[in-house]
Amino acid sequence: MGAEKLAAFGESWMAMYLQMFHANQELVFSLMRTWNPMLVGKDAWFKSAQAVQSAMLDVLGKGVAPLHRRAVGNAKRLSRSSPGR
């Protein structure tokens, strides 16, 4: 059971790392668009801030998904194997 938890946390960290890598790339391009005088719109900084917030929520979601998947799988497995239910 301990090895399974370690594997789930390893999956979680890797998923978060990959999502953060992609989020950083998107952030750089978003900031480049914001600082370009020809592309700056009325609410460019607001859109950039929204992109950062959305990216962080995506990173957290990617990190929780493997843990959630394992927990739900364990709950289903344990409910099937327990007698009297």
What is the spatial distance between Cα 63 and Cα 57, in angstroms, rounded to a whole number? 10
Whole-structure pTM over 0.75, yes or no? no
CB atoms within 10 A of CB 10: 11
Q: How many CB atoms lie within 10 A of CB 54?
A: 12
Give 23-75 pLDDT, tens digit per residue.
Answer: 898 888 877 777 766 666 667 777 777 888 888 899 999 989 988 888 898 88
